[in-house]
Amino acid sequence: MRGDDGSTMSTPPWSRDTSTWETDASADLKLDRVHYTETREGVKEWELEATSAVYHKEGDTVMLEKIRATFFGKNQESYHLIGEKGSFNTQTKMIEVYDGVKVDSSSGYRMRTRSLKYQADQKELHTSDPVELEGPSMRVEGVGMIVELNRERVKILQGVTTTLSSLEWNKSAGSAR
C-alpha cells in the first residue's frame, strides 16, 4: 500500500490495533506526556502534545493518543486541534489525527470531522471525510476540506450546504439601506 506522500506502508496507521501500544514489544521507544514544537527559521510552525507516544523506527512513525496540536498561519492566526488517536511521521512531518477531530481557529471558527491530516511542507490541513464548519454567522457542511494556513483559506470540496444566521443577515441588510 502507498501513502499519500508515495511512501510504502504495510498497514495504515489508523487501522492498527492501538490496544497493544503499551505492551508492543516491537516499539523502539515509548513515552508518556509528549510535547513537540516544529520551527522553521526561528518561527514556530506548530506544536503537538499527546498523552502517550509509541515510536517505531521502521516506518519513522510515532503512534499518538489524546492529541492536542496548534498550527500557526500568517498574521498570528492559529488553529487548535484535538483528537483521540493519530500518528506523526518523523521524516515527512505529516500528522494524521482521527476519532473525534475538532479544530477551533483563533478567529472564531469551529470544524468537526472524523480524520484530518497536516502536510508540513504545504502548511495544509485536509480531510476527505464529512466536515462541519461553523463561524460567527454561518454553518457549512460538506465532504472533504482543505485549509491553506498561509493563505487563511478554507475549501469544502463537495456536497456543500451553507446556512447563514438570519440574525447576522438582518443586521447586514439593515445597515445597507
Confidence of residue 12 (pLDDT cuts 50, 70, 90): very low
List the chain domain ranges: 13-18+26-175
pLDDT, one tens digit per residue, over 14-61 is: 444 444 444 456 667 787 898 999 888 888 899 999 999 998 888 888
Of 14-23, 39-48, 136-145, 162-171, where does mean pLDDT reach its minimum?
A: 14-23
Distances (CA, A) of 54 to 23, 49, 61, 125, 171: 10, 13, 8, 23, 52
| Topology of domain 13-18+26-175, CATH | lipopolysaccharide transport protein A fold (2.60.450)
Are 162 and 139 within 8 A, CB to CB?
A: yes
Confidence of residue 11 (pLDDT cuts 50, 70, 90): very low
